[in-house]
Structure 1
């Protein structure tokens, strides 16, 4: 499903020097596999997901999803591919404030070529415990409720690959497990590959495959040596 080779990303410092952020020689995820990447804040986890999703572009390397190297696509092509093949649970939700919870999930469906399925949108919101908040606007919802809408939206199009960026970071402890369970159960039922990043070990330990980003990312080791 996902195959990364020689992936590199750096950012330019005010001094003009380039600081390497990611240097991942090899990283693969099989079809329907569920895995988690762990690491401290600021180590490049979100940057890696941005590159996999095509939101950002690497300095070099390949990112093949379903056999297609998305680094060769235009920005428009990456946007279209992401809408049709991937789901993304953003750490900052990215909900549209002028639309209800139900409308946010339905709008997520409309960006792909698939049919808008209002009943699936309602069912996903019910499964995250928001059956009584279908017509609520994000500004009237708690942080935890907004995160649950974001999860439902990411799953709406039955993606082949789901990326989840700290999906429990802004959810109170009583709802953390329900979020993890919903993501994992839906991925299992529908054969979706899952790549989740987190710094919460109580979440990571539920996965059979745990990859510390510091081991995948040669840039971390290089920066430590340089320091």
Structure 2
């Protein structure tokens, strides 16, 4: 499902120099596999997810999803591919403030080729505990409630690959496990590959495959060796 080979990414500093962030020689995720990437804040976890999603592009290397190297697509091509193949739970939610919770999930469906399934949108919001907030606007919802809307929206299109960036970071302990259970159960039922990023070890420990980013990223290994 997902294959990365010799993926490198750097950012330009105000001085004009480039600061290397990622150097991932190899990373694979199988179809329907569920795995977690762990690491400290600022180590490049979100950057890696952005590259996999096609939100950004690597300086070099191959990022292949379902056999297609997305780094070779145009920006519009990556946007279309992401809408059709992937779901993404953003750390900052990215909800549309002028639309209700239900409308946000339905609008997420409209960007792909599949039909809009209002019943599925309703069901997903019920399953994340927001059946009573279907017609509420994000600005009237707590941070945790907005996160749960974002999870429902990411699952709405039955993606082949789900990327989740700290999906429980802003959820209270009472709802944290329900979010993890919903994501994992839905991915299992619908054979969705899952790549989750988290620093919460109580979440990571529930997965059979846990990959520290410093083991995937040669730059992190080099920094650790010189520490």
Q: Shorter-chain TM-score: which interval?
A: over 0.9
Q: Which position in structure 1 is the counterpart of 2:111? A: 111
Return the TM-score normalized by structure 1.
Answer: 0.98
How many residues were matched structurally? 227
Q: CA RMSD in A?
A: 1.0
Q: Which position in structure 1 is the counterpart of 2:212? A: 212
Give, in whole Å, the separation in 2 of the partners of 1:94 and 1:88. 10
Output aligned runs, 1:116-127, within 5 Å: 116-127=116-127
Deviation at 1:18, TM superposition (A): 1.4
Aligned with 1:97: secondary structure? coil
Deviation at 1:224, TM superposition (A): 4.6
Q: Which position in structure 1 is the counterpart of 2:74? A: 74
Aligned with 1:57: secondary structure? coil
Q: Which position in structure 2 is the counterpart of 1:21? A: 21
Return the TM-score normalized by structure 2.
Answer: 0.98
Output aligned runs, 1:103-182, within 5 Å: 103-182=103-182
Structure 1: stretches of 5+ with no match in the other structure:
none
Deviation at 1:12, TM superposition (A): 1.6
Q: Which position in structure 2 is the counterpart of 1:7? A: 7
Aligned with 1:120: secondary structure? helix
1:99 matched to 2:87: no
Structure 2: stretches of 5+ with no match in the other structure:
none
Give, in whole Å, the separation in 2 of the partners of 1:219 and 1:158. 35
Deviation at 1:222, TM superposition (A): 3.0
Aligned with 2:133: secondary structure? coil
Give, in whole Å, the separation in 2 of the partners of 1:202 and 1:75. 37
Deviation at 1:19, TM superposition (A): 1.2
Deviation at 1:223, TM superposition (A): 3.9
Give, in whole Å, the separation in 1 of the partners of 2:225 and 2:21. 14
Deviation at 1:225, TM superposition (A): 5.4
Q: Which position in structure 1 is the counterpart of 2:35? A: 35
1:143-200 alpha-carbon deviations (Å, 9 max, x no partner):
1110000000000000000000000001111110000000000000000000000001
